[in-house]
Amino acid sequence: MIVGNGVTGVTAATRLRQMQPDWKITLVSGESAYHYSRPALMYIFMGHMTYEATKPFEDRFWSDQRLDLVRDWVTGIDIEDKQLVLHKTGRLPYDRLLIATGAKSNRFGWPGQDLDGVQGLYNLKDLRQLYKNAERTRQAVIVGGGLIGIELAEMLHSRHIHVTFLIREASYWCNILPIEESGMINRLIEEQGIGLIRETNLKEIVDDGSGRVEAVVTEFDERIDCQLVGLTPGVSPNTDLAKSTPIETGRGVLVDHSFRTNIPDIYAAGDCAEIVSRNGGRNLIQQVWYTGKKQGKAAGEVLAGEDIAYDPGIWFNSAKFFDLEYQTYGMILSTPQPGEQHLYWEHPSHRHAVRVVGVDGCIKAFNFMGIRARHEVCERWIAERRTVKYVLDHLEEANFDPEFFVRHETEIVRSLKEQLV
Amino acid sequence: MSTPPAGTTLIDPETIAYFYDEEADGFGEPATAAEAPRNPGMMVSAGVIGLGFLALAVILLGMPLTGDWTPFLLSFGLLSAGTIGYAWFAYKDTVPGIKHDGIMFGNTTHRGAIAWALGIALTGFYVVLYWWPEYLARAIALVEPLSQALAGQPANQWFLYGFLYTMAVVLFGFRMFMRYRHNRYHIVRTISVMFFQLVLAFVLPHLLRALNEPEFYFSYFWPLKYDYLFPGTVDYLVNSPGALGSFMVFWGAVCSFIATPVLTYFYGKRWYCSWVCGCGGLAETLGDPWRHLTPKSTVSWKIERAIIYAVLLLIILTTAVLWVSSTSDGALSSISAPLQRWYGFYIGAVFAGVIGVGFYPVLGNRVWCRFGCPMAAVLGIIQRFFSRFRITTNGGQCMSCGNCTTYCEMGIDVRAYAERGENIVRSSCVGCGVCSAVCPRGVLKLENGTSHGDRYPGSDNPLGAFSTAISKGARVYGDRDGYV
């Protein structure tokens, strides 16, 4: 029994089916009848794709694979009788249960945050609401400068709505990205004609008298008229279900490295899970698509009875900011850490950049902007602790750009080697 | 017992109340949206296109034709200038990158009334062209000056057709330059299809006519240009004065049986389908606005395989019967002649023309290439089992968004492979490279490897894989060695 049909739940189910061809597997979700790709929500809104096309599997896949789908919300877990309590359809018994309920948009208690026209973007309901809220909207304000924020900006921009970005930081996403990469994106945002107000907090959202948003006011008492406010200050684990039970929760549902909660036969994985550190370090909450998929695969194996521990592996992530692609391998924090050497090259057009981070002369991480890099090559170099010099000498092996693209390796390597000495 | 007490719930009531039928909703066109800012250049260009159509209509409906360049330039000149201007002004101030906003909402681009009207108009044009060319007399007279200049001979309906076809490839090729100017693969590829259409499939054949040589298209081969290896054609070419006719036969045979497998081994079928072929050229330029309409279901894949290989067998059979008949003094002529006529009519005209191009706005731009072309079938078998070409997936980066599948003009569920981190080695892939271009995470790359032996499980034994594929049929998921 799996609660949630997002990427983690579905990956766990398909992996479990591969390993246990005879088990009865049921996926419960109230959000949608079939699994869809959450990162593709933006492409539906922008008219790049139909909703139908965001479903990675044809509808017949589920019956072919004998994966039962139940469209309902889970309201509780009867741990003693090992049953799920559903909102509409009564109770469902389980032998093993995986909680993969994902995350919820953060709300920081701003005045007016519940007005009509104020919303986040995480699920289909939000998308439907955005369709409604975007009607007759001329100006929008987006609060919070993360990945969802810029996606939302791109979405509204595609409908010719003027967008103003309100970010707390001095530069877009600069708590994650080093200042140079972050600067490239600032430039991109402004190039698109989107307003970017930095180092500014939201004070309140103003009611137009009918319960709809009319404007926002910043902490400096600047008023920005708008008919839509996007609140995108990140997401936090959705622990609502677990909180109604003795399952231990912290920020997320607490699990060990095999996704076991404190209750036997109940597991949790994906955005909603908080993996308790084995050596007393920081607990692991991973909330990107790739880790959701990776955790789902491992959780499927655990459910199938394998005795494995989740290995987060070498970090990677990618995104696209308007037309600028970003890939990262290994962990790069926004500011150089003690002992790290950062080498950085940026093309004069501000459309391509590479950052190579070394520790003690060995490669630790990469950032690529506007250049596609080969995942397995970068990962292998980091795993093998290749020297930075070796990596620079072989950098062209890591290129994954399409054929005929202008290659920049010569300049990149020359520039980075100069910084090396 | 740990369920919450009756009557209370810890889940957001709004969420509970949300039993939303997203399948029925479909998230289509927005109800009302802010208007796009005015683009004066585009509006003027649209006006010029309108004037061009007006001129064309007036000429076709009875303005006296003098046989000189004035009406030609007035109609086609204005249409060309307007189309180029429209593409230029639409994209010149935009940031280079993928431009797919609103495609699924567009009346023209997503099977709206305009799309159907266009489809009917295109289909109607083919019907008139093939069966009632007499109605095109005035249009043929309109291109007379160009025919005289190029071929030194009067225009006929095929000259008119070739001219319009080439004009479409060139004008919409320019649109491709604007639209994909961030992507050199598309620019180079578009230059290639424009060159082959303009020079090898239009100017050169008519220059040959001017020189009293046989009209010959050096970029088309058997079995696509099916009659090139028919005994009648071969006889005619070999017997035409000078050595050029014999060279044409030699060229056609070498390209069909030697160049095709060799080039496909190195580069996949894309060297032909999306770089050289005129049908592919039109699909990649004029057809680009409709590439996402190709059906992607497993069922459509099964239909595709059934039809395309049937057409291939049919043309092989027709050619063989014709040769047997011609070398045995017409022993089989009672079969061969009707077969030749039947193939020419139903496959060559109805399928390749009327359905293949006429249905662009409704079924996507590669209907003929995907479902009918026997050349694509041959190239596809070589590509699938023996070629070095593959589309590689970049590690675990796929996030299943489905842009690749949506924009695949050949109806391949690219995502199904990408999501599992597998190479895409499907027979039908024409290597257009759009999946790679639209991928927001840079996951897909078209590559020619150093050998064909590392592309799919079982590639060390291609013949075994071939027989498995034939016996197992279409699979998208689950089975890892059965799919073609």
Interface contact A400, partner B, CB < 8 A: yes
Across the interface, do A327 and B184 touch by the CB < 8 Å criterion?
no
Token pair 């489809």 in the structure block, residue: B119
Q: What is the pLDDT of residue A59?
A: 93
Residues of A in contact with B442 (CB under 8 A): 318, 325, 327, 372-373, 400
Are A9 and A75 in contact by the 8 Å Cβ rule? The answer is no
State yes or no: pLDDT of A145 exceeds 90. Answer: no
Helical (H) or strand (E) element with A255: strand A253-255
Q: What is the pLDDT of residue B15?
A: 64
Say how far apart CA B219 and CA B418 lie, in whole Å: 33
Mean pLDDT of chain B: 91
Query: Could you tell me what percent of chain B has a pLDDT over 70?
Result: 93
Confidence (pTM)? 0.95
Interface contact B24, partner A, CB < 8 A: no
Closest residue on chain B to A321 (Cα): B440
State yes or no: pLDDT of A417 exceeds 60. Answer: yes
Q: What is the pLDDT of residue B479?
A: 45
Residues of A in contact with B184 (CB under 8 A): 402, 404-406
Q: Six-digit token pair at B298?
A: 């497993």
State yes or no: pLDDT of A325 exceeds 90. Answer: yes
Q: What is the pLDDT of residue B445?
A: 98
Q: What is the pLDDT of residue B6?
A: 42
State yes or no: pLDDT of A116 exceeds 80. Answer: yes
Option in B15, B28, B101 nearest A158 (CB): B101
Residues B140-156, mean pLDDT to the nearest whole number? 94
* Burial class, A203, CB count within 10 angstroms (exposed 0-12 / middle 13-18 / buried 19+): middle
- Least confident segment among A97-101, A185-189, A309-313, B19-23: B19-23
State yes or no: pLDDT of B9 exceeds 90. Answer: no
Across the interface, do A53 and B405 touch by the CB < 8 Å criterion?
yes
Say how far apart CA A156 and CA A151 lie, in whole Å: 9
Query: Distance from CA of residue B468 to its chain's centroid?
Result: 29
Option in A33, A58, A404 nearest B184 (CB): A404
Residues of B in contact with A30 (CB under 8 A): 15-16, 18-19
d(CA A370, nearest CA chain B) in Å: 10
State yes or no: pLDDT of B274 exceeds 70. Answer: yes
DSSP codes, A268-332: E-GGGEEEPPTTSS--B---SHHHHHHHHHHHHHHHTT--------S-EEEEEETTEEEEEES--
Across the interface, do B402 and A49 touch by the CB < 8 Å criterion?
yes
Per-residue pLDDT tens digits for A331-351: 999 999 999 999 999 999 999
Residues B72-81, mean pLDDT to the nearest whole number? 96
Mean pLDDT of chain A: 95
Interface contact B93, partner A, CB < 8 A: no
State yes or no: pLDDT of B3 exceeds 50. Answer: no
- β-strands A139-143, A162-166 pairing: parallel
Q: What is the pLDDT of residue B51?
A: 97
Q: What is the pLDDT of residue B5?
A: 43
Q: A281 or A81, which is more confident?
A: A81
Residues B444-454, mean pLDDT to the nearest whole number? 95
State yes or no: pLDDT of B480 exceeds 60. Answer: no
Q: What is the pLDDT of residue A343?
A: 97
Per-residue pLDDT tens digits for A267-281: 999 999 999 998 888
Per-residue pLDDT tens digits for A242-251: 998 999 999 9
Say how far apart CA A210 and CA A20 lie, in whole Å: 56
Residues of A in contact with B23 (CB under 8 A): 33-34, 51
Say how far apart CA B231 and CA B361 lie, in whole Å: 37
Say how far apart CA B229 and CA B375 lie, in whole Å: 13
Per-residue pLDDT tens digits for B14-36: 665 667 889 999 899 998 888 88
Interface contact A315, partner B, CB < 8 A: no
Q: What is the pLDDT of residue B18?
A: 65
Helical (H) or strand (E) element with B468: helix B462-472
Interface contact A192, partner B, CB < 8 A: yes
Per-residue pLDDT tens digits for A362-395: 999 999 999 999 999 999 999 999 999 999 999 9
CB crowding A101-124: b at 16 or more within 10 Å, else e: bbbbbeeeebebbebbbbbbbbbb
Q: What is the pLDDT of residue A224?
A: 98
Per-residue confidence band for B54, with pLDDT thresholds at 50, 70 and 90: very high
Say how far apart CA A202 and CA B462 lie, in whole Å: 63
- Any idea of the CA torsion for A76, A78, A83, A85, to the nearest 10 degrees? -30
Per-residue pLDDT tens digits for A11-27: 999 999 999 999 999 99
Backbone phi, then psi, for A355, in 5-degree steps?
-125, 130
Say how far apart CA A145 and CA A175 lie, in whole Å: 10
Say how far apart CA A369 and CA A319 lie, in whole Å: 10
Q: B102 or A108, which is more confident?
A: B102
Residue B283, CB half-sphere, CA atoms under 13 Å: how many?
Answer: 33
DSSP codes, A175-206: TTS-HHHHHHHHHHHHHTT-EEE-S--EEEEE
d(CA B90, nearest CA chain A) in Å: 14
Residues A214-230, mean pLDDT to the nearest whole number? 97
Residues B131-136, mean pLDDT to the nearest whole number? 94
State yes or no: pLDDT of B40 exceeds 80. Answer: yes
Handedness of CA A377, A382, A383, A388 (dihedral sign): positive
Are B163 and B202 in contact by the 8 Å Cβ rule? The answer is yes
How many interface pairs between A and B have CB atoms less than 8 angstroms apart? 218
CA nearest neighbour of B360 among B289, B431, B416, B425: B289
Q: What is the pLDDT of residue B457?
A: 83
State yes or no: pLDDT of B181 exceeds 60. Answer: yes
Closest residue on chain A to B14 (Cα): A125
- β-strands A67-71, A195-197 pairing: unpaired
Helix (H) and strand (E) counts for chain A? Answer: 11, 25
State yes or no: pLDDT of B483 exceeds 50. Answer: no
CA nearest neighbour of B2 among A246, A101, A267: A246
CB < 8 Å & 24+ apart, contacts of B467-470 = B469/B384
Per-residue confidence band for B481, with pLDDT thresholds at 50, 70 and 90: very low
Residues A106-130, mean pLDDT to the nearest whole number? 93
**Mutation test of the interface with chain A: which of B101, B420, B445, choosing the one with the most A Cβ atoms within 10 A?**
B101
Per-residue confidence band for B139, with pLDDT thresholds at 50, 70 and 90: very high
Are B34 and A161 in contact by the 8 Å Cβ rule? The answer is yes
Residues of A in contact with B433 (CB under 8 A): 402-403
Residues B438-467, mean pLDDT to the nearest whole number? 92
Helical (H) or strand (E) element with A70: strand A67-71
Interface contact A375, partner B, CB < 8 A: yes
Return all residues near A335 (Cβ < 8 A) that are at least 6 apart.
A178
CB crowding B443-456: b at 16 or more within 10 Å, else e: bbbbbbeeebeebb
DSSP codes, B38-58: P-HHHHHHHHHHHHHHHHHHH
